[in-house]
Structure 1
């Protein structure tokens, strides 16, 4: 059962909707028509830039952010302001889906890929950066409009 199917089933049960309602798909914020554009993959590597430039998101849209680490160093991304102003649906690591209440940072101890599916909520200027870094290449600015 996919994450969205599981969520639809739970919502139908919670709202008292008939079980067949989930067969019609999502409406509103989680619908397939509410998908934002593809986001650039963020790359974590020792001394490498995280992204080619800033990222712009639209409030209320669903996005999937892919983060790749080349394993050259133990690296993390922090962005508490960003993570507090999105709703995280799931984090996928090695095919395992995690449904957290919230995030403040993520860390890679070795090479790998992580996908974070989320809904942009509160408009503003945010960032993700490698903790303790000061260079512009070690940070990506994110605007939610």
Structure 2
């Protein structure tokens, strides 16, 4: 992995004199320099856990926005309080990330793709992923339109 990263940086630095300054996307790097054997899943490449709460009549997230770094590893904990059957959807967000696994009741699922999750009872689902595609991507409570019922992930 280190050789691959070095090759990309070297190629970018060789191209810089021909094209001017490097674009910001090329300069973005994982959260740590030495990824080691685990690669992008290395502990030093992990961002903070993002917590969402599914509850009838309550906001999904405190701020409504989260900024992620492309190439970094994150965990998303979605907790439903059981006050109503609620689902969360966001095909655009789920296609902008590489999903490592979803853990529900200590059962690990490694999906190819998902569009939504629905909670019929109280519980927690933990999604681990690597942010990939830069841009703004929305995750919302299914069927809702209110600003407090959605979260925007800004991947840089």
Which TM-score bucket, shorter chain as reference? 0.7 to 0.9
1:60 to 64, 68, 71: 71
Aligned length: 120
The yes-or-no answer on 1:101 pairing with 2:130 is no
CA RMSD in angstroms comes to 1.1
CA distance in 1 between counterparts of 2:37 and 2:92 reads: 29
Shift of the 27–92 alpha-carbon distance from structure 1 to 2, 3 Å rule, reads: closer
Alignment partner, residue 155 of structure 2: 144
Determine helix, strand or coil for the equivalent of 2:40: helix
Q: Which piece of structure 1 moves more, 80-89 or 126-135? A: 126-135
The yes-or-no answer on 1:128 pairing with 2:142 is no
What TM-score, normalized to structure 1? Answer: 0.79
Alignment partner, residue 50 of structure 1: 60
What TM-score, normalized to structure 2? Answer: 0.74
CA distance in 2 between counterparts of 1:144 and 1:88 reads: 15
Q: Tell me, which stretches of 5 or more residues in structure 2 are unaligned?
A: 1-35
1:27 shift after superposition = 4.0
Greater Rg by CA: 2
The yes-or-no answer on 1:84 pairing with 2:84 is no
